[in-house]
Amino acid sequence: MTLTRGQANFLKHIEAKEEFDFWKTARHGHSADIMASPEQLDSLVKMLNDNHIGYEVMIEDVEELDMKTRFLRNKMMPRPVEFGKISFEDYHSHDEVRSFDHYLMCSLPAAEFSLACQFWQPNFS
Protein backbone atom coordinates (compact mmCIF):
# COMPACT_ATOMS: atom_id res chain seq x y z
CA MET A 1 0.00 0.00 0.00
CA THR A 2 1.54 3.29 -1.02
CA LEU A 3 1.26 6.15 1.41
CA THR A 4 0.08 9.69 0.77
CA ARG A 5 2.21 12.52 2.12
CA GLY A 6 -0.18 12.97 5.06
CA GLN A 7 -0.23 9.25 5.89
CA ALA A 8 3.57 9.06 5.71
CA ASN A 9 3.89 12.09 8.02
CA PHE A 10 1.41 10.54 10.47
CA LEU A 11 3.37 7.27 10.54
CA LYS A 12 6.67 9.15 10.95
CA HIS A 13 5.14 10.83 14.01
CA ILE A 14 4.15 7.38 15.35
CA GLU A 15 7.61 6.02 14.57
CA ALA A 16 9.26 8.89 16.48
CA LYS A 17 7.32 7.88 19.62
CA GLU A 18 9.03 4.44 19.42
CA GLU A 19 5.88 2.59 20.43
CA PHE A 20 6.14 0.26 17.44
CA ASP A 21 9.05 -1.35 15.66
CA PHE A 22 9.28 0.12 12.14
CA TRP A 23 11.16 -2.32 9.92
CA LYS A 24 10.78 0.03 6.97
CA THR A 25 10.21 3.72 7.65
CA ALA A 26 7.19 5.51 6.20
CA ARG A 27 7.82 7.49 3.00
CA HIS A 28 5.44 9.26 0.64
CA GLY A 29 4.70 7.01 -2.34
CA HIS A 30 6.04 3.91 -0.59
CA SER A 31 4.83 1.47 2.03
CA ALA A 32 5.96 1.03 5.63
CA ASP A 33 6.62 -2.18 7.54
CA ILE A 34 5.59 -2.11 11.20
CA MET A 35 5.89 -4.83 13.82
CA ALA A 36 3.43 -4.76 16.70
CA SER A 37 3.14 -7.05 19.69
CA PRO A 38 -0.15 -8.88 20.19
CA GLU A 39 -0.97 -6.38 22.95
CA GLN A 40 -0.39 -3.43 20.58
CA LEU A 41 -2.21 -4.83 17.56
CA ASP A 42 -5.68 -3.44 18.26
CA SER A 43 -4.26 0.02 18.92
CA LEU A 44 -2.22 -0.04 15.70
CA VAL A 45 -5.16 -1.25 13.60
CA LYS A 46 -7.37 1.49 15.05
CA MET A 47 -4.78 4.18 14.24
CA LEU A 48 -4.38 2.87 10.70
CA ASN A 49 -8.14 2.68 10.12
CA ASP A 50 -8.73 6.14 11.63
CA ASN A 51 -6.21 7.58 9.18
CA HIS A 52 -7.48 5.58 6.19
CA ILE A 53 -4.22 3.67 5.88
CA GLY A 54 -4.63 0.25 4.32
CA TYR A 55 -2.65 -2.58 5.81
CA GLU A 56 -1.85 -6.23 5.31
CA VAL A 57 -0.53 -8.69 7.90
CA MET A 58 2.68 -10.07 6.43
CA ILE A 59 3.86 -12.26 9.32
CA GLU A 60 1.31 -13.44 11.87
CA ASP A 61 3.81 -14.50 14.56
CA VAL A 62 7.34 -13.11 14.18
CA GLU A 63 8.74 -14.95 17.20
CA GLU A 64 7.50 -18.32 15.94
CA LEU A 65 8.89 -17.64 12.46
CA ASP A 66 12.25 -16.60 13.92
CA MET A 67 12.47 -19.75 16.03
CA LYS A 68 11.59 -21.98 13.07
CA THR A 69 14.07 -20.20 10.83
CA ARG A 70 16.90 -20.47 13.36
CA PHE A 71 16.16 -24.13 13.99
CA LEU A 72 16.07 -25.00 10.29
CA ARG A 73 19.18 -22.94 9.53
CA ASN A 74 21.12 -24.65 12.30
CA LYS A 75 19.80 -28.10 11.47
CA MET A 76 20.07 -27.94 7.68
CA MET A 77 23.18 -25.82 7.29
CA PRO A 78 25.53 -26.41 10.20
CA ARG A 79 28.28 -23.82 10.35
CA PRO A 80 31.78 -25.03 11.14
CA VAL A 81 33.27 -23.78 14.35
CA GLU A 82 36.12 -21.52 13.33
CA PHE A 83 38.90 -19.93 15.34
CA GLY A 84 37.52 -21.31 18.59
CA LYS A 85 34.34 -19.26 18.45
CA ILE A 86 31.02 -20.81 19.30
CA SER A 87 27.69 -19.19 20.00
CA PHE A 88 25.95 -20.29 23.16
CA GLU A 89 22.66 -18.84 21.86
CA ASP A 90 22.37 -21.19 18.87
CA TYR A 91 21.82 -24.92 18.62
CA HIS A 92 24.97 -26.77 17.55
CA SER A 93 25.27 -30.30 16.27
CA HIS A 94 27.28 -32.89 18.16
CA ASP A 95 30.05 -32.60 15.55
CA GLU A 96 30.23 -28.82 15.99
CA VAL A 97 30.51 -29.14 19.77
CA ARG A 98 33.20 -31.82 19.41
CA SER A 99 35.05 -29.57 16.96
CA PHE A 100 34.98 -26.74 19.50
CA ASP A 101 36.22 -29.10 22.24
CA HIS A 102 39.04 -30.22 19.94
CA TYR A 103 39.98 -26.62 19.25
CA LEU A 104 40.17 -25.90 22.98
CA MET A 105 42.32 -28.95 23.67
CA CYS A 106 44.70 -28.13 20.81
CA SER A 107 44.97 -24.42 21.59
CA LEU A 108 45.66 -24.63 25.33
CA PRO A 109 49.25 -25.23 26.45
CA ALA A 110 49.71 -28.72 27.86
CA ALA A 111 50.14 -27.47 31.44
CA GLU A 112 46.88 -25.47 31.30
CA PHE A 113 45.02 -28.40 29.72
CA SER A 114 46.27 -30.75 32.40
CA LEU A 115 45.22 -28.29 35.11
CA ALA A 116 41.78 -27.84 33.51
CA CYS A 117 41.29 -31.60 33.40
CA GLN A 118 42.14 -31.89 37.08
CA PHE A 119 39.34 -29.49 38.00
CA TRP A 120 36.77 -31.02 35.68
CA GLN A 121 36.10 -34.61 36.58
CA PRO A 122 32.94 -35.88 34.87
CA ASN A 123 30.85 -38.32 36.85
CA PHE A 124 29.60 -41.08 34.54
CA SER A 125 28.02 -43.24 37.23
Q: Mean pLDDT in each 10-residue stretch from start to end of the chain (125 residues)? A: 90 91 90 88 92 86 72 57 65 74 66 51 50
Cβ(103)–Cβ(84) below 8 Å: yes
* pLDDT at 60 (0 to 100): 76
* pLDDT at 72 (0 to 100): 64
- C-alpha 75/C-alpha 96 separation (Å) is 11
DSSP sequence for the chain: -PBPHHHHHHHHHHHHHTSSEEEE---BTS--EEE--TTTHHHHHHHHHHTT-----S-S-HHHHHHHHHHHHHHHSPPPP-TT---SSS---HHHHHHHHHHHHHHS-HHHHHHHHHH------
pTM attached to this predicted model: 0.51
* pLDDT at 74 (0 to 100): 60
Give buried/exposed letters for 24-62 (b at 16+ CB in 10 A, else e). eebeeeebbebebeeeeeeebeeebeeeebeeeeeeeee
* pLDDT at 110 (0 to 100): 57
